[in-house]
Amino acid sequence: MDRSKKPSAIGVGGSLPQPTVSIKDSTIEASLPSGESVTVHLYGATVTSWKANGQEQLFVSEKTHLDGSKPIRGGIPLVFPVFGPPPQNHVTSSLPQHGFARNSNWEFLGKSSSESAETAGQAKADLAVKLDFGLSHTMLTEEFRKAWPYEFGLVYSVTLTKDTLETSLQVRNEGTQNFDFQVLMHTYFDIGNLESKTYVDKTRNAISQSETSAALAITEETDRVYQDLDPAKPIIVSSAEDDKTIFSITREGLTDMVVWNPWIEKAKGMADFGPDEAYKKMLCVEAGSVSAWQTLEAGDAWEGGQSIKARL
């Protein structure tokens, strides 16, 4: 029997609080009725804040530029189409370090929210809000378009649920030529205080040849690329002191993981990193596909993403 046209009973369903989305200047903020929120800056479609369990989960440098003159130092900058300094004599050679996605103005494509099916006694438990952002070749500066002359479309989705932050990127080849790309979600985690406790990144399932230990202690400058990981097996960032999980990251389509902490000297050398000692409260754990090139054929699309749980 089709009851869709019948008025719903007062107090059921529709009267429950819904997610809110607000747009202010160049930022989009989404909040759930349970208090979690996420903020995305249109410059780079950079997630600049994720609040969950009553606290900020991402690190943003006090000295970051937010005016579009430099990539945002913190949150989740997106690396595309090249990771690190571009190789010489390569199609990406004229691009800046980490490509152009983090230094381009994206557009907000809209929001959608969803709820899990109502189950007895557990109505609408899994409320989620998704924000979509777009970047295409027509939106790039002339300089970037010349440096990477492919016709592409990116759709970046940021989904907030009570327990997770999910970020996923769809890359479309809208041209007639194949292109190669690398991609990375350069997540700066706020880990509280590295000084009073030692934190480790448990790359439990790393099959990298050089990494024999399942856990990596962060006690000095660290910049490593772990390759060929099983994306479904979580990377755990935990406190060595009490082995408590701080973050747990699963991925789809992203088999590499970069772990980076600049430590004291490098932190001091970065003009947009501050305060100097902030290296003690941040750790970058970056899900990506960077150790090889993904080839995307004309007309094809690729998708990859991460799902993060914090301080559960």
Least distance to ligand G6P, CB of residue 258, Å: 5
Using CA atoms, how far apart are residues 285 and 287, in angstroms rounded to an integer?
7
Q: List, as residue ranges, the binding site.
A: 73, 97, 102
Helix, strand or coil, per DSSP, at residue 37? strand
Among residues 36, 41, 98, 286, which one is catalytic? 286
Least distance to ligand G6P, CB of residue 19, Å: 31
Q: List, as residue ranges, the binding site for substrate.
A: 73, 97, 102
Nearer to ligand G6P, 97 or 198 (CB): 97
Give the torsion sign (CA, 106, 52, 114, 17). negative
User: Tokens 């000084």 map to which residue?
Assistant: 195
Nearer to ligand G6P, 98 or 309 (CB): 98
CB contact set of 259 (below 8 Å; sequence gap of 6+): 201, 203, 216, 218, 222, 223, 224, 226, 283, 284, 285, 286
| Structure token digits, residue 158 | 């940021």
| Structure token digits, residue 237 | 């960032």
Nearer to ligand G6P, 74 or 231 (CB): 74
Length of the chain: 312
Among residues 186, 252, 277, 297, which one is catalytic? 186
286 annotated active-site: yes
Least distance to ligand G6P, CB of residue 98, Å: 5
Closest residue to ligand G6P, based on beta-carbon distance: 260
Using CA atoms, how far apart are residues 128 and 248, in angstroms rounded to an integer?
19
Nearer to ligand G6P, 98 or 202 (CB): 98
| Structure token digits, residue 124 | 């609408």
| Structure token digits, residue 270 | 């970065």
186 annotated active-site: yes
Amino acid, single-letter form, for residue 280: K
Binding site for ligand G6P (CB under 6 A): 84, 97-98, 223, 258, 260, 284, 286
Least distance to ligand G6P, CB of residue 219, Å: 17
Catalytic residues: 186, 286
